Amino acid sequence: MEERFPAFRAKAREILAGVSGLEKEEDYRQLLCGDCPFYRHGEEENEECGSYRLLRALLEAGALDLEDLLQALG
């Protein structure tokens, strides 16, 4: 069975392990956009969709917990 949201899972695990953080714009893009078919890592013209903006705001406000999200994904 294929793992759902592999890019999100990998980045979230890096963040939780202290290997990475959410200091830069690209950190958020890798976490929240990495599994999107429209996202192209490293491209200058990555536009922000409404889902990205919402999830980023929730993460910044502490309303979402990465451990809880990983557990919910199974």
Per-residue pLDDT tens digits for 24-58: 988 999 999 999 988 877 776 667 899 999 999 99
Band (pLDDT 50/70/90 cuts) for residue 74 is confident
Residue ranges per structural domain of the chain: 6-73
Band (pLDDT 50/70/90 cuts) for residue 60 is very high
Examine the pLDDT at 11 and tell me if it is beyond 70: yes
d(CA 2, CA 64): 25
Structure pTM? 0.86
Which residues touch 8 (CB under 8 Å, ≥6 apart)?
31, 32, 34, 35, 69, 73
Band (pLDDT 50/70/90 cuts) for residue 19 is very high
Which residues touch 44 (CB under 8 Å, ≥6 apart)?
none
Are the CB atoms for 40 and 46 separated by under 8 Å?
yes
